[in-house]
Structure 1
């Protein structure tokens, strides 16, 4: 399933639109997890692009927030992983949130963010028996 959405309507015309964007990429997830990620994106993003199976470009939210929310759905327990990259405006800091084995994330951590590589620092949480029919995931 692929889809995109325009920015959500904002009832308060004085509120400024969030110009932060991120790319969410996942690997090794099943259909239930994919539906949970899509549900999360629909609830939390101001707008999104989802034309590739396991890639979303989202507007709104921080890399930290997306990483925390995704770690509830994608735990790494069964070789399911994710990467969240900020798409910074010029002169902004590059950020990345990862659930990957250390051997697969050093380049992103060092080259993309221009920072020293930090080994696993994100705690992950599991969903207790997610149901494929869950309309509202527990986050």
Structure 2
């Protein structure tokens, strides 16, 4: 800091130290207070797990047929083998993610709650299959 404007200031190191401490304190305090203030203001915040690895492909056109679903607890798909699902002729489960890991799934794979599925379905067809993955509403 011996050249430039800071060299002409008699207390340049002290000014730098004060600015550094004020900025570090401000960032720390504000960052830690955001969730508290959000709860106080009744603003819902969701936390997301870090996903350090991604699998993706690039396509020229938006895939109209790709659908992502999650198996809900209590749904018809829970505990059912993929081959036994009544998906129709034009729906295909391309892969299953279970506990954050890609699963080598085949017709004998039994689905569990929170399994994430990527399905390819005929874009012009019915989506009646979606009801299989949703848990029924509780009785009144």
TM superposition score normalised by structure 1: 0.27
Larger strand share, 1 or 2: 1
Which one has the largest radius of gyration? 2
TM superposition score normalised by structure 2: 0.27
Larger helix share, 1 or 2: 2
